[in-house]
Amino acid sequence: MSEESAERGAPLSPEERAERVRLAKERAAAARAAREGGGAVTSAAAAAPAGSTATPATTSGAAEPPAAAAPRAERAAPATPEERAAAVEAAKQRAAAARAARESGAAPAVAAQPTAKPALSPEERAAALAQAQERAAAIRAERAAAAAPAAVATPAPAATWRIGPGGARVQVLAARPDARAQEVATRDAPTRMVIRRRDFLRGGFWSGLAVLAVGGLATFLDFFNPRDITGFGGVVTIPSVDVPKPGDDPFHFLEGKTWLVNLKPGEGVPQEFTSFAAPSKNGGLLAIYHKCVHLGCTVPWRPDFVFGGVTGWFRCPCHGSTYTKGGIRVFGPAPYSLNTFLITKVDANGVTVNTGKIISGSTNNDPQHTVDAGPYK
């Protein structure tokens, strides 16, 4: 390829491209050998222009002077980050100049080679690295202080020392945990209440047993301490219209299982049976329990029954126990006279009887206690 075609930027043939690639590889190999051997190996390919097709010279030719080879070796291997950055910037400038020359059709201008910096010792590199770390830590601290709220004081990071490259001591900054995180970490963990299966079953058993015991006791007390009882077993009132007149037949009040008797003075025991008990002297009201004291049969009043020449008796239909109008036993297997109830009140509205209060019949057939009939005389 001619120099005119290279300057004009004409398209290259395949042979020319292959030749350029070969020359570039040879230059790269020579530079790598120079870096590894500490010197510079010259070749015709490295000194030839990019468009030249001349055969490169081998390393058996004359070598460059040591003074010229040393800076080139130093430039090939930068030692510090700053040197690397400067080399990259110079390469970018050279590439930009070559690209501008190709586009304009002129020969590329050779960029000025940067002045080689002297190589740094390990101690100098360690000192430069420590300074860079300190500057970075200061910048981070400034950013954290600006971002943190004014009311919250940010603890200063603790400074520590470490051994850097070449044995030099380097100061580094260690981060501290947040105060809130430290407070949470120092709190005691919440205590969990763990219930074992055996404890749960034991507690359930005893709880159920206690419920059963309390329920049984409540039922017992309720049964033996009745409240607000109506009808038999409580206080009943026999209306005034049902209260018999003195000497009339007894009235059977079924709600209270009571025979209400209104005796005249001297009535209650016939004269033929005064050997069993004396008749009522003043008469009055008498509330008789209608259950026979023998086996509990209901005893009716038999006004037409004749016994011992006398008409009108309480006669048990089960075993024939016979009682006078005042409830005195005169015949039969009954062991004693009929039981009576306590009369608590007698007024114009009726007679109030407490059927929960039973007065046992006398075993020796003494006259029954009567209550003044009041307005029902």
195-224 pLDDT per residue, tens:
788 989 999 999 999 999 999 999 888 887
96 phi and psi angles, rounded to 5 deg:
-65, -40
Q: Give residue-wise pLDDT tens across range 297-343.
A: 999 998 888 888 888 889 998 988 999 888 888 888 988 888 888 88
The answer to whether the beta carbons of residues 27 and 43 sit under 8 Å apart is yes
What is the Cα–Cα distance from 192 to 195, expressed in whole angstroms? 10
- 108 domain-assigned: no
- 33 domain-assigned: yes
Please identify, among 77, 100, 132, the residue that sits at the C-terminal boundary of a domain: 77
- 83 domain-assigned: no
The answer to whether the beta carbons of residues 367 and 277 sit under 8 Å apart is yes
* C-alpha R_g of the chain: 67
- Give the domain extent around 282: 235-376
CA quadruple 126, 132, 136, 139: dihedral, nearest 10: 140
pLDDT class of 53 with cuts at 50, 70, 90: very low
CB-based burial of residue 49 (10 Å sphere; 0-12 exposed, 13-18 middle, 19+ buried)? exposed
What is the Cα–Cα distance from 112 to 231, expressed in whole angstroms? 131
Instruction: State which amino acid sits at residue 179.
Output: A
Give pLDDT, residue 74: 45
Within a 10 A sphere around the Cβ of 133, how many other Cβ atoms? 15
Say how far residue 179 (Cα) sits from the centre of its chain: 29
What is the Cα–Cα distance from 2 to 8, expressed in whole angstroms? 10
Please identify, among 15, 42, 77, the residue that sits at the C-terminal boundary of a domain: 77
The answer to whether the beta carbons of residues 310 and 297 sit under 8 Å apart is no
What is the Cα–Cα distance from 244 to 254, expressed in whole angstroms? 15
What is the Cα–Cα distance from 204 to 357, expressed in whole angstroms? 45
- 304 domain-assigned: yes
In sequence order, what are the beta bridge partners of 41? none
Element (H, E) at 342: strand 340-347
This prediction's pTM: 0.42
Please identify, among 32, 49, 77, the residue that sits at the C-terminal boundary of a domain: 77
How many independent structural domains does the chain possess?
Answer: 2
Angle formed at CA 96 by CA 90 and CA 99, multiple of 5 degrees = 140
Angle formed at CA 316 by CA 314 and CA 320, multiple of 5 degrees = 110
Residue 242: which region, alpha, beta or left (left: phi > 0; alpha: psi -120 to 50)? alpha
Say how far residue 2 (Cα) sits from the centre of its chain: 89
- 124 domain-assigned: no
Q: What is the mean pLDDT of the chain?
A: 75
Instruction: State which amino acid sits at residue 162.
Output: R
Give pLDDT, residue 354: 87
% pLDDT > 70, the chain? 68
- 115 domain-assigned: no
- 351 domain-assigned: yes
pLDDT at residue 349 greater than cutoff 80? yes
Tally the C-alpha atoms within 13 A of residue 120's C-alpha that lie toward its C-beta. 16
CATH number at residue 347: 2.102.10.10
- 339 domain-assigned: yes
The answer to whether the beta carbons of residues 11 and 19 sit under 8 Å apart is no
Q: Measure Cα distances from 146 to 140, 175, 192 in Å.
A: 10, 17, 43
Q: Give residue-wise pLDDT tens across range 111-155.
A: 455 555 667 788 888 888 888 889 899 998 888 888 765 544 555
What is the Cα–Cα distance from 65 to 73, expressed in whole angstroms? 13
